[in-house]
Amino acid sequence: MLRLPSFRYLQPKTLRDALTMKTDAGPEGMYVSGGTDLYPNMKRRHQEPKTVISLMGIADLRRADDAVVGAALTLTELSDRPSARPPVLGHAAGLVSTPLLRNMGTLGGNLCLDTRCNYYNQSYEWRKSIDFCMKKDGHICWVAPSSPRCWAVNSSDIAPVMVAIGAEYRLVGPQGERLAPAGRFYHNDGINYLTKQPDEILVDVRLPAPDGWDAVYHKLRRRGSFDFPVLGVAAWVRWDGKNVGEARIVLGAVASHPQEVPEAGAALKDAPLSDDSIAAAAEAAYRPSKPMDNTDFDLSWRKQMTRVFVSRALNELRTRRSAGR
């Protein structure tokens, strides 16, 4: 059994106290919300904070209304609110892992999730037996040995949705507050995967006003009741009468960041969603979709599934539009 190392656990009640505690702890301090990602990672010695600062007692992170969703809401709270807007958010939250993990895991933790790789999500001893890798404790990338960078995968189910709908993240740090567009919160780098500073807290997410847009999320994984995505497709359209005025297609779990494919969105613009435009967008998304051989399933099959899942997502949007939803 893997054991947690010993650490100091702090429970601030205000944002100000949390920031002060993090400043005092320095680089050896980390924030935690539900702990469903951080604690397993600590057991495998991926992250080794000496001080862990829980954000769950801070009321500012629990706000929930039509325009703002607090980072400390659990995934169960997000998925169980049938009236919650937008429905795509509750749907994506409900697809994350298992009910038990959704009861603990939060929106903030999901959006800040560590990147994943078959050579990294292993015990310390397993990693040591291959002399580690560049993401933690080593020097080489076992997925692409000549690569100067890490290709670990962003495996969040909700991040691609936030990028697709154009949400904004409110971050508070020692220097003050800032709003970051979801699309600029992620780096395509398996090690430096967030643009957030380590001491910044994700407080809440600002949702776009419901003015004529719709979005869906489709997820590919081995076990439907449990697993991380090996492909996620978030599709967003703004309707202009019967035509698509604007569209965004964002792929999850095929890169170190949620990957928007602008060519796929452009293929849908200024026309109704038709079989031809859906096929063109699916083809446009297929081309840059380059899954690496570091998660489940064969990577060429996962690439082919991009076409299928983009088509399914856009067909769902078309059906919802015809049904007046």
Residue 213's DSSP bridge partners are: 238
Is residue 135 part of the contact set for ligand SF4 (CB under 6 A)? yes
Is residue 294 part of the contact set for ligand SF4 (CB under 6 A)? yes
Is residue 119 part of the contact set for ligand SF4 (CB under 6 A)? yes
- The mark string for 189-208 relative to ligand FAD (x by CB under 6 A, - otherwise) is ------------xx------
Is residue 151 part of the contact set for ligand SF4 (CB under 6 A)? yes
Is residue 254 part of the contact set for ligand SF4 (CB under 6 A)? no
Residue closer to ligand SF4 by CB (options 138, 245) is 138
Shortest Å distance, C-beta 135 to ligand FAD: 14
Distance CA 129, CA 142 (A): 13
Take residue 310 and report the two structure tokens written for it. 């983009």
Residue 17 interface partner, choices ligand FAD, ligand SF4, none, CB cut-off 5-8 Å depending on type: none
- The mark string for 36-75 relative to ligand SF4 (x by CB under 6 A, - otherwise) is ----------------------------------------
Q: b vs e for 263-279, b when ≥16 Cβ sit within 10 Å of the residue's Cβ? A: ebbebbbeeebeeebbe
Candidate segments 27-35, 121-129, 208-216, 309-317, binder of ligand FAD by CB under 6 A = 27-35
Shortest Å distance, C-beta 121 to ligand FAD: 10
**Non-local CB neighbours of 320 within 8 Å, separated by 6+ positions:** 214, 216
**Non-local CB neighbours of 115 within 8 Å, separated by 6+ positions:** 135, 150, 152, 153, 154, 155, 190, 191, 193, 256
Is residue 228 part of the contact set for ligand SF4 (CB under 6 A)? no
Take residue 23 and report the two structure tokens written for it. 């400043």
Residue 220's DSSP bridge partners are: 231
Angle between helices 299-322 and 275-286 (to 10 degrees): 150
Residue 249 interface partner, choices ligand FAD, ligand SF4, none, CB cut-off 5-8 Å depending on type: none
CB 197, CB 263: distance < 8 Å: no
Which residue in 58, 89, 92, 150 binds ligand SF4 (CB under 6 A)? 150
Is residue 141 part of the contact set for ligand SF4 (CB under 6 A)? yes
Task: Report H helices in the chain.
Answer: 15-25, 38-43, 75-79, 87-94, 99-104, 107-111, 124-129, 159-165, 262-266, 275-286, 299-322
Candidate segments 43-51, 141-149, 163-171, 204-212, binder of ligand SF4 by CB under 6 A = 141-149
Sign of CA dihedral 49, 230, 296, 221: positive
Is residue 109 part of the contact set for ligand FAD (CB under 6 A)? yes
Which residue in 12, 90, 108, 166 binds ligand FAD (CB under 6 A)? 108
Residue closer to ligand FAD by CB (options 18, 282) is 18
Is residue 106 part of the contact set for ligand FAD (CB under 6 A)? yes
Take residue 288 and report the two structure tokens written for it. 């840059």
Distance CA 231, CA 12 (A): 37
- Backbone dihedral angles phi then psi of residue 173, each to the nearest 5 degrees: -135, -175
Nearest to 186 by CA among 160, 165, 204: 160
Which residue in 21, 22, 25, 37 binds ligand FAD (CB under 6 A)? 37
Residues in touch with ligand SF4 (CB under 6 A): 117, 119-120, 133-135, 141-143, 150-152, 190, 294
Chain positions contacting ligand FAD, by CB under 6 A: 30-38, 40, 55, 71, 75, 96-97, 101, 104-106, 108-110, 112-113, 155-157, 201-202, 227-228
